[in-house]
Amino acid sequence: MAREPSVDQRKRRRLAAVVLAVTAAVAAVVLAVILAGGPQEGAPLSGPTPSDTSPSATLPSATLSSATLSGESPSPAPTSAPVPVAPGPTPPPATLPAPQPPPPAAPFPAGLAGTDVEVVPGAGRSVALTFDAGGNAAGLPAILDTLAGAGIRGTFFLTGSWATANPAGVAAIVAGGHRVGNHSQTHPSFTGLSDSGIGDQLLGAEQAIQAAGADPRPLFRFPFGARDARTIAAVNNLGYVPVRWSVDTLGWKGTSGGVTAQQAADRALSALQPGEIVLMHIGSNPDDGSTLDADALPQMIDRMRQAGYGFITLDGLLAG
């Protein structure tokens, strides 16, 4: 007959049964995790999930107890390193700044400030014929006819009072393609005026000339040629560049002053140079009624051309 197992054998069998039960429980937990798709990141490793109905979900404590009994520390759950986020585009500001208008263009080259110009720089073999209008308009028709016949444009410095009294004359000058400049409102000597008085003279003439259909800016000529550093600066501050002359024909003196048309032309030719500015006058001499500059102009042009010179307006100053 069979021998009854000893006490040691019975203990070993019971221990084997316990180990077998624990192993089966662990296997059941592992199988349940696999069937559930594995643990989700951040989900607790213990405790059932809402969709887990397996009885083995109640056994994690047995698993931990087994690890503890074996003397092993449970492994910590793996953690994921944070994924760097690329910076996105900078959002545009809620409101864009309004575009700023460009600064206004300077009315004349900075190099002309502080000067009363006597020659057109860089003009080459060219002459600027200029005519002042402050008296009457007796010589204007002949002057305009001569210039038109020769295909030449000149520069006319008008007083505001002359423009107001001779709107048809202003229109004829503009129609001929000629340049207009400011010669003050009433032709006073500027060295005896205050800065505010200078402003009144320039702006008054500017408005009168514009009302007659021309724009004198930024060319100005001092009445009588009277000027100093202060008056030049005051004119500059009002946006004008003063223009003097290289030679005065003295035709304004008339025959009563001992001048002839031939002498007026000779004076202009004697000063001939590149960029020469010739001063002439539109009106007749108040004593003898002569218009010597108008009379001298045709031969003056012919002789200058024979010397190899052409003609420009004072706009040539503004291009520098």
| The one catalytic residue among 116, 132, 293, 295 | 132
187 is catalytic: no
Question: Cα 152 from chain centroid?
Answer: 35
Residues 6+ apart with CB under 8 A from 52: 32, 36
178 is catalytic: no
CB 122 within 8 A of CB 320: yes
Neighbours of 242 (CB within 10 A): 23
**CA dist 222 to 132, 202, 243, 314, Å?**
10, 10, 8, 15
186/201 Cα distance (integer angstroms):
7
- Do β-strands 155-158 and 179-182 pair in parallel, antiparallel, or remain unpaired? parallel
CA angle 293, 294, 300 (to 5 degrees): 70
Q: What is the 3-state secondary structure (H, E, C) of 38-82?
A: CCCCCCCCCCCCCCCCCHHHHCHHHHHHHHHHCCCCCCCCCCCCC
Helix (H, G, I), strand (E, B) or coil at 317: helix
Question: Cα 128 from chain centroid?
Answer: 32
CB 244 within 8 A of CB 222: yes
Placement of tokens 């040629």 in the chain: 225
Beta bridge partners of 131: 156, 280
| The one catalytic residue among 178, 183, 187, 281 | 281
Residues designated as active site: 132, 281
